[in-house]
Amino acid sequence: MTVAVAEARAKVNLHLHVVGRRPDGYHLLDSLVAFAGVGDTVEVRAGRGLSLSVEGPMADGLAGEGDNLVLKAARALADGLGRPPDLAIRLVKRLPVASGIGGGSADAAATLRAAAALWDLPPGAPVLARVAPPLGADVPVCLLGRAVNMGGVGEVLDPAPVLPRAWMVLVNPGVACPTPAVFRARTGLFSAPDPLVEAPPNVAALGAALGRRRNDLTAAAVTLLPVVAEVLERLDALDGCRIARMSGSGATCFALFDDEDAARRAAATLGGAHPGWWTAACPLLSDANAER
């Protein structure tokens, strides 16, 4: 193999409960995580030393980042295998940076998958699971690429029920929302865990299940970035929207729809009214790796 390509699908927290805090300050979570049919692309070739080129509509968001997660992931896997990280990596950046949909973590996970394929490792090679967690809390779930009930600080990944076929509209208002700042701004009591255990038979049932849950970081994100409240309001008002929520620590929000036509019409409506917002209509994926 001379080149390996992996897709870095957007990670979506369909709900997110903050259920506690460890003595080291890291928060404990209960989150239903799935993936969206939109993302970045990582292409890996053999190289002399380690290099990274970035292109795509969101490439400017990584300008000035010397040692980003893609390079760290490549080095981590090479170190785990006891070999030099001789790779030429090309990243096509389509997802907003620092946006609550795991862009950097998804890129790191895709780098691990692509480099493993280039170096003839099987997809489930134990070294991948070893090197992923130190790269970031969301890297293990992005490496797995399947819908899960995520717990702990991101390291507990339990299979989620099969999710119905659905479409979503993802919207980011064009502002970065750093995760540490959002967690620091969160106030109030911790929530009880409430993982999804029964498979929703359709999108309406999934929307109802999410309606009984929430994203505990929304109020904190709105305090820091009031535009998040506007995004949620605009999404909720779209024709056919089953539910609108913020993903992760924001500022990206999503709305669920029954089918592709409804989602694309909604995205066109919202994008036309707010051309400065990043808007994408895409399928909800239970298994991102199977959809590549």
CA–CA distance, 153 with 158 (Å, rounded to integer): 13
- Residue 158 a catalytic site member: no
Contact 127, 28 (CB under 8 A): no
Given 40, 107, 138, 258, the catalytic residue? 138
Go through 50-85 and write b for each residue having 16 or more CB atoms within 10 A of its CB, e for each that does not: bebebebebeebbeeeeebbbbbbbbbbbeebeeeb
Given 11, 30, 107, 258, the catalytic residue? 11
- Residue 138 a catalytic site member: yes
Helix axis angle, 69-81 to 103-118, nearest 10°: 40
Helices H / strands E in the chain, number of each: 9, 10
Tokens, residue 152: 């702990």
Catalytic amino acids? 11, 138
